[in-house]
Amino acid sequence: MRLVDYWEFSVPVFKRHIPRTLLLTLAIAIGVCSVILLTSLGEGARRFIEQEFSSLGADLLIILPGKKETQGGAPPIYGTTTRDLTLEDVQAIEHISTIDKIAPIIAGTALITFQNRSREVITMGSTPAIFPIRDLTLGEGRALPENSSTQHVPVIVLGSKIKKELFGNQSAVGEWVRAGDYRFRVIGVLEERGESLGLDLRDMAIIPVRSAEMLFNSPALFRVIIQLSQSNSEAYTEQRIRKIIAERHEGKDDISFVSQDSILSAFNSIMLTVTAVVGAIAAISLVVAGVLIMNVTYISVAQRRHEIGLLKALGATGLQVKRIFIGEALLLTTAGSVIGMLLAFSGIEFVRWYWPDFPIAATWWAVISAIVTAFIMGALFSWLPAAKASKLDPILAMRGFS
Amino acid sequence: MILLKDVCKTYELGETPLKALDHVNLSINPGDYLSVMGPSGSGKSTLLNMIGLLDRPDSGELYINDIATHSLIEEERAKLRQNNIGFIFQSFHLIPRLTALENVEVPLMLSKTPKHERREQSMKILEQLGISSRADHLPKQLSGGQLQRVAIARALLMKPSILLADEPTGNLDSRSGSEVIELLEKFNQEGITLMMVTHDVQLGSRAPRKLQIIDGKLSEVEKHHAFS
């Protein structure tokens, strides 16, 4: 039989069993669609993170206290710090020519109280440089004063959510709040904004770094964020900083660096893995579709025993009979894949329209693997029933016996 | 030329094995007209299937045009069946979703003949059988006699050397039955070997060579007499 003959021989079969054909096509379409759609969401998330990073602007370098071999993974959870990184260390390095801005950070949680309302809040001690570096904008009021790194100034900038929870709709700027044992005057409120790098900035408070030293009763810096004045100067800057810090820490090289690039590539590889895993999970629906194909092919073989016996009596080989049934399964797989792709791409267009900020995108490898998987399932699961058909005894089959 | 030597076939049905063919020896010359009669379950159909290469003997030899079919693989047997053997069944066995013409075409489709060529050949044979006006009808729109003519057209399409008919009139009224038989006999006179299984004595006696099977044992009822 030639290819066009298989087509003409099988299409009337589908026309005779329209509900069955449609349901099977739908099952395959859903499988293909879910693989493409879910991996596209994963890819979108990856691009979203990439965008977030690049929106931070210039090259960032982060210094963490403690020595840790790192390729840009998460910062150390428990301290291996031999010696604290302090504000004095930061002052010693801030004159390096390649450093544009430098923001030391001390972080902790503090109970912030206004009148009878209080909230446990992540409080970050820093300098005014943190605002441009983390791309923070003020909804009202002003940022931290310039002398944040030299002296305790009792001022605080609140995240928008905290402000709302403590003050409601009333104006916060100029009011005094209590944080731990100290009183701070609210000088600014951050602009309403989504999450940034997994940190909900609406739920934070920022105070001068010296004040944080007092509040948390420790000079140890959580980290130092540096914005470089020119790109590709990371290695040079890192080397200079290591040298200066080592001199100040009795010769010990006890700090670690994380660059924006290394974080980005770490996120990238994590997201790719997540996307692939999500795709693989979605591919389970293709296996389910495959089982359906097997079931329907078995039914078809049983219903067409006469026909199979006849074809063999007319000189069809077992191979030809097998090809007819596998071919029918693959035809349905093709239809299902095309419909699934159309569904997936319209789904992607819908997400684009509904959520324009999210850079959802279909990846070619996901589309190809979805379709290849569908075809493997189609061939694999129709194989058994087709082989059964090819082995039917023509005489018994024509008489309707098994 | 078809030659069976000591062909045996036993079916395991339940506890007692059923001897469908018991050391059958038979030689069929080109152009012969044979009828095979016998009670049901005696092995008539088994003999037909054996010669039609749909079944394999347990022991013995079967030659078709000097080809030792018992030593062929399945694919080769299918090929031989396609080119040399035409089947006609009691219940016609047309594919319900295909038109009369498409049903006739199936053997040519299996042998990869291009479409326009198969259309042409199939139409020609339908014309020959006087049912070309029904070419585009589905089987359910045809009468029994017409269905059997379509089946005969399909069997003759590949110009087989032997036509095997299993109760070809079993599902037909007497008038269309005799029409079908006359048609088959006409093709036999044109040189095709015709072998017909039937339990209808009147029908069986029309054949110059009458075979009888009882419990798997084949015997010739009469010596063939001159065919005039």
The owner of tokens 């790109």 is A231
pLDDT at residue A193 in the model = 66
Within 10 angstroms of residue A54's Cβ, the number of other Cβ atoms is 10
The residues facing B218 across adjacent strands are: B213
pLDDT at residue B228 in the model = 38
3-class DSSP state of B138: coil
Q: Measured between CA atoms, how close is A303 to chain B, in angstroms?
A: 12
Interface of A with B in 28-57 (CB under 8 A): none
Q: Are B172 and B144 in contact (CB under 8 A)?
A: yes
pLDDT at residue A71 in the model = 47
Instruction: Give me the sheet containing B209-214, strands edge to edge.
Output: B85-88, B162-166, B193-197, B33-37, B209-214, B217-220
- Domain borders along chain A are 3-52+265-399, 100-229
Q: Are A289 and A31 in contact (CB under 8 A)?
A: yes
Please tell me the distance from the alpha carbon of residue B1 to that of residue A254, in angstroms, as a whole number.
Answer: 99
Total residues found in chain A within this entry:
402
Residue ranges of chain A whose pLDDT lies below 50? 70-71, 81, 402
Q: Are A203 and A161 in contact (CB under 8 A)?
A: yes
3-class DSSP state of A292: helix
B38 alpha-carbon distance from chain centroid = 17
Has residue B87 been placed in a domain?
yes
Q: What's the Cα-to-Cα distance from B129 to each of A101, A183, A364, B101, B146, rounded to whole Å?
A: 98, 110, 58, 12, 9
Please tell me the distance from the alpha carbon of residue A48 to that of residue A242, in angstroms, as a whole number.
Answer: 33
Predicted confidence (pLDDT) per residue in B40-74, tens digit: 878 888 898 899 998 889 999 999 988 999 888 88
Please tell me the distance from the alpha carbon of residue B122 to that of residue A299, in angstroms, as a whole number.
Answer: 32
Q: Which residue of B has its CA nearest to A17?
A: B97
Predicted confidence (pLDDT) per residue in B71-90, tens digit: 888 888 888 998 999 999 88
Total residues found in chain B within this entry:
228
Say which residues have a Cβ less than 8 Å from residue A388's Cβ, sequence separation at least 6.
Answer: A298, A301
Q: Measured between CA atoms, how close is B122 to chain A, in angstroms?
A: 15
**Nearest Cβ partner of B110 from A12, A314, A395?**
A314
How is residue A248 written in tokens? 């100040």
pLDDT at residue A295 in the model = 92
Within 10 angstroms of residue A31's Cβ, the number of other Cβ atoms is 28
Mutation site, A314, A324, A392, interface B, largest B CB count within 10 A: A314
Query: Per the CB < 8 Å rule, is A315 touching B97?
Result: no
Please tell me the distance from the alpha carbon of residue B3 to that of residue B66, in angstroms, as a whole number.
Answer: 8
The owner of tokens 């079916």 is B11
- Is the model's pLDDT at B136 over the cut of 80? yes
Tally the domains of chain B: 1
Q: Are A203 and A166 in contact (CB under 8 A)?
A: no
Has residue B40 been placed in a domain?
yes
Element (H, E) at A363: none
- Is the model's pLDDT at B105 over the cut of 70? yes
Chain B neighbors of A315, CB-CB under 8 A? 78-79, 81-83, 107, 110-111, 158
How is residue B35 written in tokens? 């009828």
Query: Per the CB < 8 Å rule, is A310 touching B79?
Result: no
Element (H, E) at B68: strand B67-68
Is A4 in the B-facing interface, judged by CB distances under 8 Å?
Answer: yes
How is residue B32 written in tokens? 């012969």
pLDDT at residue A76 in the model = 56
Has residue B63 been placed in a domain?
no
Is A95 in the B-facing interface, judged by CB distances under 8 Å?
Answer: no
Range of the domain at B83: 31-52+73-220
Has residue B22 been placed in a domain?
no
Interface of A with B in 308-347 (CB under 8 A): 309-320
Instruction: State the burial class of residue B150 (Cβ atoms within 10 Å of its Cβ: 0-12, 13-18, 19+).
Output: buried
Q: What's the Cα-to-Cα distance from B112 to each of A192, A342, B82, rounded to whole Å?
A: 72, 35, 12
Q: What is the CATH number of the domain that holds B154?
A: 3.40.50.300
| HEC per residue, A137-203 | CEEEECCCCHHHHCCCCCEEEECHHHHHHHHCCCCCCCCEEEECCEEEEEEEEECCCCCECCECHHH
3-class DSSP state of A355: coil
Predicted confidence (pLDDT) per residue in B145-194, tens digit: 999 999 999 999 988 999 999 889 888 888 888 889 999 999 999 999 99
The DSSP 8-state label assigned to residue B141 in this structure reads G
Chain A neighbors of B55, CB-CB under 8 A? 393, 395
Please tell me the distance from the alpha carbon of residue A31 to that of residue A373, in angstroms, as a whole number.
Answer: 10
3-class DSSP state of B18: strand
How is residue B106 written in tokens? 């199936």
Chain B neighbors of A2, CB-CB under 8 A? 112
Q: DSSP characters for A218-269?
A: ----SEEEEEESSTT-HHHHHHHHHHHHHHHTTT---EEEEEHHHHHHHHHH
Query: Per the CB < 8 Å rule, is A4 touching B115?
Result: yes
Q: Which residue of B has its CA nearest to A319?
A: B75
Q: What are phi and psi of B23, to 5 degrees?
A: 45, 60
pLDDT band for position B226 (50/70/90)? Answer: very low
Q: Are B211 and B37 in contact (CB under 8 A)?
A: yes
Query: Per the CB < 8 Å rule, is B111 touching A315?
Result: yes
Chain A neighbors of B74, CB-CB under 8 A? 317-318
